[in-house]
Amino acid sequence: MQLKAPTPDPKVYHGTLGRIVRLLEPSSEGDPIGILGSLMTGVSAFLGPRPRVWITDLEDHPVLIFCLLIGRSNTGKKGTATNSAKAALDILNAAWFKTNTIRDLTSGPGLIAEVRDATEEAEEGGELISAAPYIGHESRWVFSSEYGKVMANSAAIGSLAATIRQAWDGDDLSSKVKKDPLVATRPHIAILAHITPKEFRDRFSEGELGGGTYNRFQIFNVTQSKDLPRGGRGLLDREKLEREVGKLRENLLKARKDMIIYRTAEADDYWADVLYVKAGADIEDDSEMMEEFTARRRPYTLRLAALYALADGRKEIGVKDLEAANAICEYTLASIEYVVSTQGIGQQVSTSGNSKASLLGATLRTLGKVNQGLTLMQIRERLGPNTPSAEIKALLESLGASQKKGHKEGAGRPATIYYLPDAVNGDGAL
């Protein structure tokens, strides 16, 4: 028995954003959660940098969302989900998205150049000089349909990963180019990216996890939602869609100003008593790999909740906004666990050192939930065909794994199956 693909809690389809997804979904083969993720990044880009969500009296964040859709090339329908969201974004403001969409990521300086502070030239002593820059707070929606290939070149364009991290933080960006230094003051860059499961797993080197690029994304496993051999003709209620997006446009235009988004008293209690602890708690999988993806869960929950609220025309975060945001974060963790632990079985992943222990631990913990384990052959397929048996056994010992003789699916004769007792449902035995 294999783990089933995760299903998002219906709470994610909350408010105006959720209603728009539900209107688009019948006429699309794209995954509704993929439509939602695409829509949220575009809306957060259009919203701009001026509204900020309150974290503490000393810290606030931009209402800025990054999303990574993970799906297979033939059945993931990543592009279909994004194109469905684009239909709504074009209604929102086609001219803005035509002007402010970046369709490729090449390098850190290249991204900064797209949002650099504009300058004007002035004459001084008969020569043209650069005058004080305009502080434009430029907003852009970045769409990268080949993010795996982009990040595969991260060694050559390492500045890109650093720039992406700074962009999510809302920091000023700069590039030390002698002839033409680039500076972008308080830019607002939302990123939507597509990647295949294999590309995602291949990026799981210890260095990339430690850098924290991927935990700045909400990560959604997506797949084709349905077959529409006739194209879904007549299934879209365009009138309702235009009316709903019209409300969204009105709400967002009102929110594009300097403001701090706080929580209602009820939402503040719910955050303090329930979600604050939950979002900061250690997850059951104590691997370094999974811990990296919870590092920014608290502020991300508040960013998402603020986006839900502003999309509805409210200036305060409510309980339902927090519930929806938390459901999104839960789905991100479930997607990572599924893609890394389940779809990766039998496929080689480039790993080394502690990342091997993290990856193996995550895989065994996930399989333990359905009372399964791995054979030595399957572990070697996962970690690499040249991984010595002695190294695998040392890893298993460090994880506290147990073993038993039995039949594993795909194995003809009885084989030794390794599992983690504390991850297995029931009495801790397969």
The half-sphere exposure of 339 on its side-chain side, counting CA atoms within 13 A, is: 29
Residue of 267, 274, 145 whose CA lies nearest to 199: 145
**Is the distance from CB of 375 to CB of 418 less than 8 angstroms?**
yes
Q: Residue 221 has which token pair?
A: 């496993």
In this structure, CATH architecture of domain 10-341: 3-Layer(aba) Sandwich (3.40)
> What is the structure's pLDDT at 130?
46
Q: Is the four-CA dihedral 69, 137, 300, 152 of positive or negative sign? A: positive
> What is the structure's pLDDT at 283?
53
Is 193 a residue whose pLDDT tops 50?
yes
Share of the chain above pLDDT 70, in %: 79
Please write down the HEC assignment for all residues of 414-427: CEEEEECHHHCCCC
Is 134 a residue whose pLDDT tops 50?
no
Please provide the CATH number assigned to the domain covering 354-423: 1.10.10.10
Indicate the Cα dihedral angle 269, 273, 274, 277, nearest 10°.
130
Give per-residue pLDDT as tens, 209-238: 545 788 899 999 999 999 999 888 889 999
- Which single residue is written with the structure tokens 């594009």? 256
Is 206 a residue whose pLDDT tops 50?
no
Share of the chain above pLDDT 90, in %: 48
Tell me which of 164 and 150 has the higher pLDDT.
164
Distances (CA, A) of 120 to 48, 186, 361: 23, 19, 56
Q: What is the mean pLDDT of residues 160-166?
A: 86
**Is the distance from CB of 419 to CB of 427 less than 8 angstroms?**
no
Confidence of residue 307 (pLDDT cuts 50, 70, 90): very high
Instruction: Give alpha helix (H) positions in 9-57.
Output: 15-24, 32-47
Tell me which of 115 and 64 has the higher pLDDT.
64
> What is the structure's pLDDT at 388?
77
**Is the distance from CB of 191 to CB of 219 less than 8 angstroms?**
no
Given phi > 0 = left and psi -120 to 50 = alpha, else beta, which region is 239?
alpha
Q: Domain map of the chain by residue range?
A: 10-341, 354-423
> What is the structure's pLDDT at 345?
38
pTM tops 0.85, yes or no: no
Q: What is the mean pLDDT of residues 244-253?
A: 98
